[in-house]
């Protein structure tokens, strides 16, 4: 809404609008009454009103109030709930009113990055880095966000520069250390990447994403040398979050270790002990009704959640649903055969499909 301004002669003002005793132009009472009249008239519109008397004229000017800046406190919950369509116009309004507001620049930059508007995100986050110059923590976070946006757009050079700048500002910034580790691994610098992950874990030992990333990097670096440490790291993730997406990824990666172990001694042929265990499982399940079969499979699968050391023949476990003692390899075969009975076209990921096929051939014969 635009402001208004006009000028009228005092003598032309409709004195009937004023209280009696204040209708004579030029008097102090007239000026007070006219001022009160206009203030009452414009009260519902807010803004700022000016009534000036000069040379026998009444000068009236009204300006609307400037738009009220939305409070960051009301925007942050929208960002946390990923209600970006609602948060963006509020942030943009606040940025127009305060173009170098550090928190607005950062949050709008992160929002743009999440929406895939990467060029916009990088421009905003570069400004956020400058605007946060007096706050090392906030500036480091802005550098991390800039690094991630640059990485998403394929600019590894700026990504690395931003992440290293964040670590220089705040050496114990876990997000910066972890993100730089991931960037280095992507670039093929596995040793340097693993080093950054170790630094991040030293700061935040319970960070499961870093734990998983370190295990992954170690296996890519040298699966023989780092097998034990990687397996221990993955088991930590599984124990902490057994049914999360990250936990499932850890189980899958741990399964590749198990499969590799299985072939360690016989890379070119079948493991006859695994063939025998699969055959035993086929015979065992063949005579079971569905209820008992599901009870056995559920228990064995639950045991397997904690990880199976299939290359340790001395391992021995007992089950509530089956008599006797069972090695970890035997349990792995029970799981694989049980899953094949439920979903014949699926693979358990335990690396014993070839042994199962041979056992199935022998069982039919």
Q: Is the pLDDT of residue 65 over 80?
A: no
Task: Kindly indicate the confidence band of residue 125, based on its pLDDT and cuts at 50, 70 and 90.
Answer: very high
Write down the pLDDT at residue 135: 93
Q: Is the pLDDT of residue 282 over 70?
A: yes
Exposed e or buried b per residue across 275-293, where buried means at least 16 C-beta atoms within 10 angstroms of its C-beta: bbbbbbbbeebeeeeeeeb
Selected residue with higher pLDDT from 188 and 351? 188
CA pair distance 96, 131, nearest whole angstrom = 15
Q: Is the pLDDT of residue 314 over 70?
A: no
Most confident of the ranges 194-208, 287-301, 328-342:
194-208
In this prediction, what percent of the chain has a pLDDT beyond 70? Answer: 93
| Average pLDDT, integer, range 95-114 | 93
Task: Kindly indicate the confidence band of residue 154, based on its pLDDT and cuts at 50, 70 and 90.
Answer: very high
Write down the pLDDT at residue 316: 80
Give 176-235 pLDDT, tens digit per residue: 999 999 999 999 999 999 999 999 999 999 999 999 999 999 999 998 899 889 989 998
Task: Kindly indicate the confidence band of residue 144, based on its pLDDT and cuts at 50, 70 and 90.
Answer: very high
Q: Is the pLDDT of residue 313 over 60?
A: no
Of 159-163, 249-253, 335-339, 344-348, minimum mean pLDDT range: 344-348
Write down the pLDDT at residue 332: 87
Selected residue with higher pLDDT from 9 and 1? 9
The model's pTM? 0.61
Domains of the chain by start residue, with CATH: 4-63 (no CATH), 68-170 (1.25.40.10), 171-262 (1.25.40.10), 272-364 (no CATH)
Angle in degrees, 0-180, between the axes of helices 174-186 and 208-221, rounded to the nearest 10: 30
Write down the pLDDT at residue 365: 62
Computed over every residue of the chain, the mean pLDDT equals 88
Give 27-53 pLDDT, tens digit per residue: 999 999 999 998 988 887 777 889 999
CA pair distance 290, 254, nearest whole angstrom = 30
Rounded (5°) CA angle 288-289-293: 70
Task: Kindly indicate the confidence band of residue 70, based on its pLDDT and cuts at 50, 70 and 90.
Answer: low
CA pair distance 177, 192, nearest whole angstrom = 11
CA pair distance 332, 300, nearest whole angstrom = 8
CA pair distance 231, 282, nearest whole angstrom = 30
Exposed e or buried b per residue across 152-165, where buried means at least 16 C-beta atoms within 10 angstroms of its C-beta: ebebeebbbebbeb
């Amino acid at each position: 809404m635009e402001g208004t301004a006009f000028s009228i002669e005092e003598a032309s003002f409709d004195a009937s609008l004023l209280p009696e005793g204040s209708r004579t132009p030029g008097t102090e009472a007239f000026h007070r009454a006219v001022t009160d009249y206009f203030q009452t008239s414009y009260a519902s519109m807010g803004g700022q009103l000016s009534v000036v008397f000069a040379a026998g004229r009444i000068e009236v000017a009204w300006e609307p109030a400037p738009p009220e800046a939305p409070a960051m406190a009301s925007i942050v919950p929208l960002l946390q709930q990923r209600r970006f369509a609602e948060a963006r116009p509020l942030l943009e309004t606040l940025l127009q009113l305060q173009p170098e507001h550090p928190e607005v620049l950062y949050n709008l930059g992160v929002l743009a990055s999440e929406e895939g508007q990467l060029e916009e995100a990088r421009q905003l986050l570069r400004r956020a880095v400058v605007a946060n110059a007096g706050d090392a923590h906030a500036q480091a976070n802005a550098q991390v966000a800039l690094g991630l946006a640059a990485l998403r757009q394929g600019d590894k050079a700026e990504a690395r520069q931003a992440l290293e700048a964040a670590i220089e500002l705040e050496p114990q910034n876990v997000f910066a250390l972890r993100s730089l580790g991931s960037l280095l691994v992507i670039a093929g610098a596995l040793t340097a990447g693993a080093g950054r992950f170790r630094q991040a874990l030293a700061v935040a030992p319970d960070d499961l994403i870093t734990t998983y990333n370190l295990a992954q990097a170690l296996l890519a670096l040298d699966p023989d040398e780092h097998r034990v440490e990687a397996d221990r790291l993955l088991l930590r993730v599984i124990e902490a979050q057994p049914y999360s997406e990250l936990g499932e990824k850890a189980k899958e990666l741990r399964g590749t270790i198990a499969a590799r172990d299985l072939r360690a001694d016989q890379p070119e042929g079948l493991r006859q002990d695994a063939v025998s265990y699969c055959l035993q499982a086929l015979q065992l399940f063949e005579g079971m009704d569905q209820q008992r079969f599901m009870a056995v499979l559920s228990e064995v699968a639950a045991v397997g959640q904690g990880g199976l050391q299939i290359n340790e023949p001395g391992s021995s476990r007992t089950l509530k649903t089956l008599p006797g003692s069972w090695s970890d390899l035997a349990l792995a075969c029970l799981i694989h055969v049980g899953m094949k009975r439920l979903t014949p076209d699926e693979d358990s990921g335990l690396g014993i499909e070839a042994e199962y096929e041979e056992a199935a051939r022998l069982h039919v014969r």
